[in-house]
C-alpha cells in the first residue's frame, strides 16, 4: 500500500498534533495518545496549521482550496480558492488577523478575525459562494506577491517583519510584511532550485537557512536583510541529493535538522558563534528502504523532533538526547492504519468506477471502419499503461 503522511502541524496550547493521510486530517492528543478527531476533505490534504490560541485549524488541499475549521466543534466555517494549482503552504499571520497561503506561483492573504461570528455552511454552499465571488471578482483573498516560477517554501522572519519565499528558479525573495510590495533583498547563490527554508530562533542576527536541489546539494546560511551569504556547506558524495525538509530547533537556537531524498539518516547541524555550519549529530534509521521513505521533518516547541513519511509513518525523537519515543508510535499506529485502509479503499473505488466508464466501445456483430478500430487499440493501450502505473501505487 503506497500511501504516506504528507504534512503535520502542532497545536501547542492543547498539546495536539495533526497529520494528513490522503484526504484525511488526523488530530491526535500528544499527552493522552488518543484521537481527537478525523476530518475528511474532498481532495488530498497538502498542508495544515493551527492559529496561536489553538482555537482554529486551517487546511490546504490539492483542489486549490483552503478550509477553515473551528477546533471547538470541527465544523467548516470558511472555504477559499486559489488560482494556480493546489495549495502548497498555509499559515496564520503573526497577529492572527489573517491566513497566508500559496499555490504554485502566488502568495495570498485572507483577512481573519478569530472572534467574529461565522455561519456554518456545507461544502456545496461554499462552492456556490466561490463561483459568485469569481464572477463578481469580489473574493476577500488578496495576492501578497507572485513568482514567475513554482514557489517551494515560505516562512516569516523571527521578528515577523519579513515574508521570505523561495522558488525552483534559484531565487530567495525577502519582502517586507505586510507591505510585501517592498522588497528588502534577494538571496542569490544557489545553482539549482531552492527546496526548503528555515529561520533559526536567534535574535543575534537576521539569519536564514536554505537547502538546495540535487544539482546544488548544500545548506546555505544567509543574512536575509542584506542578502549576503554567511556560510556554504556542500553535501558531497553519497549525500549529493535533494534537501527535502529543514527545521530549526526553538529550544536551542543554534541547532537545526534536515533530511535528504531517498536517505535513511537524519542530520543535526549547529550554527557556531562565527556563523559557520558544523555537524552536530546523525540519527541513523534502520536501512529498510520500503519503510524509510521520509517526507518531512519538524521540531515542536519542546525541541522534540518529528519525522513523517511512509510506514512507519510517524517517529518522534525527544530533546535533548534525541532518543526515539517508541510509546507514541506504538499507541497511535492504529489511527494511521485505519486511515490508510480508508484512503486505499477510496482509491480502489475510484479506479473501479473509472474502469467501468472505459469499457470497449467495439461490440460484436457490428462493422467498424479501420480508423475506428485503430483509435480503439490506441485507447486500450493508453488504458493499460495507466493501469500499470496505478498498480505501483497499490503494491
- Give one DSSP letter per residue of 286-315, joined into a string: P--TTT--EEEEEE-TTS-EEEEESSS-EE
Mean per-residue pLDDT of the chain? 87
Q: Is it the case that residue 382 has pLDDT exceeding 70?
A: yes
Band (pLDDT 50/70/90 cuts) for residue 136 is confident
Q: What whole-number distance in Å separates Cα of residue 71 and Cα of residue 295?
A: 26
Q: Quote the pLDDT of residue 287.
A: 58
> What is the pLDDT averaged over residues 217-242?
95
Band (pLDDT 50/70/90 cuts) for residue 314 is confident
Q: Is it the case that residue 292 has pLDDT exceeding 80?
A: no
Q: Quote the pLDDT of residue 362.
A: 54
For the entire predicted model, the pTM comes to: 0.83
The 3-state DSSP class for residue 54 equals coil
Half-sphere exposure (Cβ direction) of 188: Cα atoms closer than 13 Å: 2
Long-range interactions of 121-130: CB distance < 8 A, separation 24+: 121/76, 121/77, 121/79, 122/76, 123/42, 123/76, 123/79, 126/76, 126/78, 126/79, 127/79, 129/79, 130/79, 130/80, 130/81
Band (pLDDT 50/70/90 cuts) for residue 395 is very low
Under 8 Å between Cβ of 39 and 59: yes
Q: What is the CA radius of gyration of the chain?
A: 23
Under 8 Å between Cβ of 305 and 355: no
For residue range 41-92, what is the model confidence (pLDDT) as tens digits?
999 999 999 999 999 999 999 999 999 999 999 999 999 988 888 999 999 9
In this predicted model, which residue has the larger pLDDT, 204 or 314? Answer: 314
Say how many C-beta atoms besides its own lie within 10 A of residue 38's C-beta.
16
- HEC profile for 143-170? EEEECCCCEEEEEECCCCCEEEEEECCC
Q: Quote the pLDDT of residue 225.
A: 95
Across 65-74, 140-149, 178-187, 365-374, least confident range: 365-374
Joined together, the cell numbers standing for residue 132 give 459568485
Across 266-270, 342-346, 374-378, least confident range: 342-346
Q: Quote the pLDDT of residue 289.
A: 47
Q: Quote the pLDDT of residue 365.
A: 57
Q: Quote the pLDDT of residue 376.
A: 76
Amino acid at each position: 500500500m503506497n500511501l504516506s503522511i504528507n504534512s503535520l502541524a502542532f497545536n501547542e496550547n492543547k498539546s495536539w498534533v495533526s497529520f494528513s493521510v490522503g484526504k484525511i486530517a488526523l488530530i491526535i492528543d500528544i499527552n493522552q495518545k488518543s484521537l481527537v478527531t478525523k476530518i475528511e476533505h474532498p481532495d488530498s490534504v497538502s498542508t495544515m496549521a493551527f492559529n496561536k490560541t489553538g482555537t482554529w485549524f486551517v487546511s490546504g488541499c490539492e483542489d486549490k482550496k483552503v478550509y477553515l475549521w473551528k477546533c471547538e466543534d470541527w465544523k467548516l466555517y470558511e472555504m477559499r480558492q486559489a488560482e494556480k494549482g493546489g495549495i502548497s503552504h498555509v499559515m496564520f499571520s503573526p497577529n492572527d488577523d489573517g491566513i497566508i497561503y500559496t499555490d504554485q506561483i502566488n502568495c495570498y492573504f485572507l483577512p481573519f478575525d478569530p472572534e467574529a461570528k461565522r455561519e456554518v455552511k456545507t461544502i456545496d454552499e461554499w462552492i456556490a459562494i466561490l463561483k459568485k465571488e469569481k464572477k463578481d471578482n469580489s473574493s476577500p483573498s488578496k495576492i501578497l506577491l507572485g513568482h514567475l516560477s513554482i514557489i517551494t517554501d515560505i516562512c516569516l522572519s523571527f521578528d515577523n517583519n519579513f515574508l521570505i519565499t523561495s522558488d525552483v528558479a534559484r531565487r530567495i525573495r525577502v519582502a517586507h510584511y505586510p507591505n510585501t510590495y517592498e522588497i528588502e533583498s534577494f538571496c542569490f547563490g544557489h545553482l539549482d532550485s531552492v527546496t526548503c527554508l528555515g529561520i533559526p530562533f536567534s535574535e543575534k542576527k537576521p539569519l536564514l537557512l536554505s537547502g538546495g536541489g540535487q544539482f546544488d546539494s548544500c545548506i546555505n546560511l544567509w543574512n536575509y536583510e542584506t542578502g549576503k551569504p554567511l556560510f556554504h556547506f556542500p553535501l558531497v558524495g553519497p549525500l549529493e541529493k535533494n534537501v527535502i525538509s529543514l527545521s530549526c530547533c526553538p529550544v536551542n537556537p543554534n541547532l537545526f535538522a534536515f533530511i535528504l531524498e531517498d536517505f535513511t539518516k537524519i542530520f543535526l547541524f549547529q550554527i557556531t558563534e562565527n556563523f559557520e555550519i558544523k555537524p552536530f549529530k546523525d540519527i541513523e534509521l534502520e536501512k529498510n528502504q520500503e519503510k524509510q521513505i521520509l517526507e518531512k521533518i519538524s521540531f515542536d516547541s519542546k525541541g522534540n523532533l518529528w519525522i513523517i513519511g511512509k510506514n512507519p509513518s510517524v517517529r518522534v525523537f525527544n530533546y535533548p538526547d534525541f532518543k526515539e519515543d517508541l510509546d507514541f508510535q506504538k499507541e497511535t499506529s492504529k489511527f494511521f492504519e485505519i486511515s490508510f485502509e480508508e484512503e486505499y479503499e477510496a482509491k480502489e473505488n475510484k479506479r473501479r468506477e473509472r474502469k467501468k466508464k472505459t469499457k470497449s466501445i467495439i461490440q460484436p456483430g457490428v462493422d467498424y471502419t479501420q480508423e475506428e478500430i485503430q483509435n480503439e487499440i490506441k485507447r486500450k493501450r493508453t488504458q493499460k499503461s495507466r493501469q500499470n502505473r496505478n498498480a505501483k501505487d497499490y503494491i
